Amino acid sequence: MNEKLIIGGESFDSRLLTGSGKYSNDSIIPEITTASGSQIITVALRRVDLNSHHKSLMDYIPKHMKLLPNTSGARNADEAVKIARIARASGCGNWVKIEVISDNKYLLPDGYETIKATEILANEGFIVLPYINGDLYTARSLVNAGASAVMPLGSPIGSNRGIKCDEMIRILIDQIKIPIIIDAGIGKPSDAALVMEMGADACLINTAIASSPNPILMAKAFKEAISAGRNAYLAGLGLQTNSAVASSPLTGFLHG
């Protein structure tokens, strides 16, 4: 049994992807990556503040980690493509997480524009991981467009509300044959364990770790939950029944 996560031809031992945002200080990131065991981390692009010379985020990201630049800020396919090209030119490699969002309240992804951006970037040799709603037709179109994985949301970005789309995720797991990485909304380790038990291939966690009072311990908790959920999926869950089924013999010696 191959227990590696394989995306774009590369294999990973960890099924936990981490984000790099929302930490009070980037210096905590090495400890987060160690505690989580994560091998893939998302990053973003930003204009340099010429009046404030902080250390670069890149100084804190361990060299072995795969960078996954996102296209946050893109409101249509053209903008997402531009950001992806800039990220590649900056030395981030050819992986990109496509986020096309024009809804400012719920930050829900635009499926149509996401498909367009994915097709362009996949044809340019990018390994494209699009952030999507849990919609089967969108996911199928992304597979045809050349996506290397799909990243359905559990609930709105940064909400920590958990898995509100579990039935849609179950359908994707059943029907889509590229890796399914559950993205936004996972709020606690049990949420991650739930989708991993269902057969999701990986989870991307940022806010739930970064907003914990003890992010390092929370990173470890997510690592363990994702591992537990994956093992449960591989083991196979027992059958559910509507009535009790005794675990111990009821026909004992007391009643002859």
Partner 1 sequence: MKLNVNGLEKSYDQDILLSSLIHLLGLNSDKIIVQVDGVIIKKDLFTTFILKENSSIEILAIVGGGWNEWKANNWWWKLWF
Output the smallest distance, CB 98 to partner 1, in A.
12
Q: Which of 1, 9, 53, 237 is in the footprint of partner 1 by CB under 8 A?
A: 53
**Catalytic hit among 97, 116, 220, 223:** 97
Q: Which of 92, 117, 127, 202 is in the footprint of partner 1 by CB under 8 A?
A: 92
Based on the residue annotation, tell me whether 97 is a catalytic residue of this protein: yes
Output the smallest distance, CB 30 to partner 1, in A.
13
DSSP character string of 196-252 = HHHT--EEEESHHHHTSSSHHHHHHHHHHHHHHHHHHHHH-PPPP-SS---SS-SS-
Of 150-209, binders to partner 1 (CB under 8 A) are: 157-158, 206
Q: Which of 66, 85, 140, 188 is in the footprint of partner 1 by CB under 8 A?
A: 85
Q: Does the footprint of partner 1 cover residue 125 (CB under 8 A)? A: no
Output the smallest distance, CB 175 to partner 1, in A.
27
- Give the nearer residue to partner 1 in terms of CB position, either 157 or 178: 157
What long-range pairs does 138-143 form, CB within 8 A, spacing at least 24?
138/111, 138/114, 139/172, 139/175, 139/176, 140/175, 140/176, 141/111, 141/115, 142/114, 142/115, 142/118, 143/176, 143/177, 143/178
Q: Which helix (H) or strand (E) holds 84?
A: helix 77-87
Q: Which of 86, 136, 217, 234 is in the footprint of partner 1 by CB under 8 A?
A: 86
- Give the nearer residue to partner 1 in terms of CB position, either 70 or 155: 70
Give the chain's length.
Answer: 256
Q: Which of 14, 17, 20, 189 is in the footprint of partner 1 by CB under 8 A?
A: 20
d(CA 146, CA 153): 20
Structure letter (DSSP) for residue 51: T
Q: Which of 10, 34, 79, 190 is in the footprint of partner 1 by CB under 8 A?
A: 79
Output the smallest distance, CB 101 to partner 1, in A.
7
CB distance 6 to 179 below 8 Å: yes
DSSP character string of 228-239 = HHHHHHHH-PPP
Q: Which of 6, 12, 34, 73 is in the footprint of partner 1 by CB under 8 A?
A: 73
Of 21-50, binders to partner 1 (CB under 8 A) are: 21-23, 26, 29, 42-50
Residue listed under structure tokens 């037709």: 137
Q: Which residues bind partner 1 (CB under 8 A)?
A: 19-23, 26, 29, 42-50, 53, 56-58, 67, 69-70, 72-73, 78-79, 82, 85-87, 89-92, 99, 101, 104, 107, 157-158, 206
